[in-house]
Structure 1
């Protein structure tokens, strides 16, 4: 395909779709975007991506380090290896690349963070529900469990009704 993505290394179905996960081609853009803000080492970039996407996307070292090497080879970033960890920063060419592709970069971040507000709210709500289910299973009286079971049945019916809408 045209447009820079979809070159080698894009086997069918690798890391595509899924739960609001970023597409793999965006690791490059994410790294360049973070380095435009400040130089960083590989680990800092991994945590930076996780932080910026509120944990929705935490790329593996296996996708970040080869990408860093590739960007160095393309003269978009440079590695300062004086310390214990290599610190990467943008070259002038890299900076120009970021400015040129700013719209794509914004889209890449948006694709990871907008799990859609509904999906996000739903997951948060579900986690909270699971938080109260455990004590009910272990520490509640029979009467409390019966009352809770009735509520869950009621909720289940309400959820089916929403789906049927």
Structure 2
């Protein structure tokens, strides 16, 4: 049962934990091979399921969640940090995930017992969401999104490192050398 109240932007789903994927792919979104464009892959609340399921598999930080979702869709869907990090905060507020210390100073998250219970209680919906992502991956060409992801990875890593501050001239030289080396390898491919 769905109820939409446009003045309040309220959405209720027949699923206790959130929405479900659209029955078919249409509208706006990533590119696919069938008819040009893949529609919006997720309904309201579905991203919570996906993120929680990935964290139940193993602890991850936000960037790893974004990368994993992009890989599972063959590049058809890549959530932005502005979507993933609020979702992680919401899951934490709900008691479904907890932050843990991770390598490189990034905050990783892992699913709690309550999160795993919620996930299992909604297993049919979760499986349907992942099936839809698999379908999107099959429709995606994959080559260009992989390159876009790699470029975004580099940009994000460089931005995060510079934001941490304390970068010495030696480190700047090492970073520049690594980028130059990568560029040189790309030219030889």
TM-score by length of 1: 0.59
> Which protein has the bigger helix share?
1
Which structure 2 residue ranges, 5 or more long, are not aligned?
A: 3-12, 20-25, 29-37, 145-189
Aligned positions, number: 113
Q: Distance in 2 between matches of 1:116 and 1:45?
A: 16
Larger radius of gyration: 1
Deviation at 1:55, TM superposition (A): 1.4
Q: Which residue is 2:122 aligned to?
A: 101
Shift >6 Å, 4+ stretches: none
**Contact 1:21–1:56 under 8 Å retained in 2:** no
Q: Of residues 20, 23, 39 in structure 1, which corresponds to 2:42?
A: 23
Q: Distance in 2 between matches of 1:21 and 1:52?
A: 15
Which structure 1 residue ranges, 5 or more long, are not aligned?
A: 7-15, 128-165
**Contact 1:21–1:112 under 8 Å retained in 2:** no
TM-score by length of 2: 0.52
Counterparts of 1:123-134 in structure 2 under 5 Å? none
Q: Of residues 81, 93, 116 in structure 2, which corresponds to 1:73?
A: 93
- SS of alignment partner, residue 78 of structure 1: strand
**Contact 1:20–1:112 under 8 Å retained in 2:** no
Check if 1:32 corresponds to 2:32. no
Sort the Cα spacing of 1:44 and 1:82 in 2 relative to 1 into closer, same or farther, 3 A: closer
